[in-house]
Structure 1
Amino acid sequence: MARKRPVVIGVTGGSGSGKTTVSHAIYDLMNGQSMEIITQDTYYNDQASMTMEERKAVNYDHPLAFDNDLLYQQLDQLRHNQAIEMPVYNYAEYTRSNETRHVEPPEIIILEGILILDDERLRNLMDIKVYVDTDDDIRIIRRIQRDMVERGRSIESIIDQYLTTVKPMYHEFIEPTKRYADIIVPEGGKNQVAIDLLATKVRDILVQRGHRI
C-alpha cells in the first residue's frame, strides 16, 4: 500500500511571538505520531563567501535573507515521501555549517518561521496555516532573553537589530501575511484552547488519509 502524504502545518508570527512554543505544544499533543519540526531559520542563505562584518550587516528579517528555493524543494520532497539532507545553520557564525541533517519523511511536518506565508509556493504546500499574534513589547522581551542565552548575543546588538530591522520588517513583511492564515492564535503558547483545537484538526486530517491514530 502506498505511503500517505505527510500533513504540513505552517506556524508563523513575529520574532518572539511564541510560534516555536506553539509548534512544540502541537508536537507534544501528537505524541505517538512520526513528526518533524522544520524551522525556516535553517534555510538562511549560505554566506560562507562573505566576511563576518558583511554577514552581520545582512537584514535577517527580509524575505531575501532566506533560500526559499531550497526550502520549497526539500519540503516538496518530504511531501512526496523522499528523504532530504537538511542544512544546519550556525548562528554564531551567521552562516550555514558544513554539516547537514538526514531527515526521513514523517507523518506530520511542522514548518515554523517568520516568513513562511510570504512565499506563495510554500503556502501551497501547507494543509494548515497558523499565525501566532503577540504584542510587540512581549516579543522584544522574549527575543532579548533568547538571543542572550541561546545565541550568545549582547543586549546592545539585540536592541540595535530589533530597532533597525526586526520591528520595521515585521510591520512591512510579516504582519501582512496574517491574511493568509487559516487560524490566528493570540498570545502563542499560553492559548491552550487554540492548541487543542489545532491538534484535533491534525488528527482529523490524519484519519481522513488513512493514518492510524
Structure 2
Amino acid sequence: MSRKHPIIAITGSSGAGTTTVKRAFEHIFRREKIQPAVVEGDSFHRYDRAEMKKAIAASDPLRPISHFGPESNLFDKLEELFRTYSETGSGKVRLYLHNDEEAKPYNQTSGTFTPWRDIEPGTDLLFYEGLHGGVVTESVDVARWVDLLIGVVPIVNLEWIQKIHRDCAERGYSPEAVVDTILRRMYDYVHYITPQFSRTHVNFQRVPVVDTSNPFIARDIPTPDESLVVIRFREAKRVDFPYLLAMIHDSFMSRPNTIVVPGGKMGFAMELILTPLIHEMITHKK
C-alpha cells in the first residue's frame, strides 16, 4: 500500500457487474479532476483467445483450467505491477483486444494482446477492474498492495443470469456453451474468486426480489428496481451510517457493518460511499 501512489481495485467474477462500479468511479474521477492509470484484468491473462482454446482442450477434464485460476493468469506480473506502481507510480501494462473494433487501431486481430508498455508518468492513482484485484495464492499476494479493494458480488444465480445473457448477446455464444464455461470454472471460482471478498474494504451485493431459482431458463435479467443492494464495510467505524440512511431513501441497516439500499440507488450509493474514501486517498497523497 502507498500513500504517494495509491491503488484502487474492483474485483468480481465474469458477469458480476463490475462495469457499474467502474462507471461510478469514472464519474468521481471526472468530477474531482483525478487522472487514473486504468488497468483491465483481462490484460493479465496468460493466453490469447486461440491459445486459451488449445490450453483448455489439453488440460485435465477433471480439473480443467479457466480464466479464474492461476494456470491461465499472470498473477506474478499483476503483483509486480501493483508493487512497482505503489513504489514509483509506474509499471508495465498492456491491453487485451476483445473485439474487432478494439483491435483495428492496433492492426491486430481480436482476442490478442498489445505489446507491454510503461504507464505514462503523472497519474494520480492506479485503477484496476477485473477478476483478481484481491487474489492471494501460496506464492502471490496481490491484495496486500491495494489501498481500496471493492467487491462486486451479486448472488450466484443472478451472476449466472447476467453472464448467460451477456455472452449470448454480445459474444455470440449459445446458452449451452455458457453453461459449460460456468461448470468448467467452478473449482477456480470457489478457490480463487470468492475468497477475495473476505479481503475487500467494501462489498456491493445485488440481491433480486424476483424468482431466479432456475438461472438457466431465465428470459430476462432482473432490473435494478427488482433488486436490493447489500453493502458490507470491513471497517464500520469509518462509515457515517446516519448520513447514508438520510441520503438514500428506503435504505436500512441489516447489521452493524451493513446497509441495504434499493437497487435503483446503487450508483448513487456508490458515489456517496466512495467519494470521501477517494478524497482521503488524494489528501494523503498530497
Question: What TM-score range do you get, normalising by the shorter chain?
Answer: 0.7 to 0.9
Q: Measured at CA, do residues 6 and 145 of structure 1 come closer, stay the same or move farther in structure 2, by a change above 3 Å?
A: farther
Please point out which of 62, 67, 74 is paired with 2:69: 62
The residue identity in structure 2 corresponding to 1:62 is G
Distance 2:9 2:52 in 1: 33
Task: Give the counterpart of 1:114 among 111, 126, 131.
Answer: 131
The equivalent residue for 1:146 is 166
Q: Which moved more, 1:197-206 or 1:167-176?
A: 167-176
Q: Are the aligned partners of 1:35 and 1:109 in contact in 2 as well (CA < 8 Å)?
A: yes
Count of equivalent residues:
206
1:103 to 103, 119, 128: 119
Q: Residues 1-80 of structure 1: matches in 2 within 5 Å? A: 5-31=4-30, 32-46=33-47, 50=51, 52-55=53-56, 58-80=65-87
Partner of 1:206: 282
| Cα root mean square deviation, aligned | 3.0
Give the letter for the 1:148 counterpart: C
The residue identity in structure 2 corresponding to 1:170 is Y
Where 1:10 maps in the other structure, the secondary structure is: strand
Hey, what's the Cα distance between the residues in 2 that align with 1:41 and 1:83?
Answer: 19
Gap runs ≥5 in structure 1? none
- 1 or 2 for the larger relative contact order (CA 8 Å, sep ≥6)? 1
The DSSP-based 3-state class of the residue aligned with 2:127 is strand
Conserved 8 A contact 2:39-2:129: yes
Q: 1:160 to 1:111 in 2, by over 3 A?
A: same
Q: TM-score under structure 1 normalisation?
A: 0.79
Compare CA radii of gyration and give the structure with the larger one: 2
Q: Is the 8 A contact 1:37 1:109 kept in 2?
A: yes
State the match for 1:197 in structure 2.
Answer: 273
Structure 2: gaps spanning 5 or more residues: 60-64, 100-108, 207-228, 230-262
Please report the TM-score for the alignment, with normalisation by the length of structure 2.
0.61
1:149-168: per-residue Cα shift (whole Å, max 9, x none)?
44443333212101232x44
Q: Partner residue of 2:237? A: none
CA distance, structure 2, for counterparts of residue 18 and residue 196 of structure 1: 19
- 1:44 corresponds to which letter in structure 2? H
Task: Using the TM superposition, give the Cα deviation of residue 98 of structure 1 relative to its aligned residue in structure 2, in angstroms.
Answer: 4.8
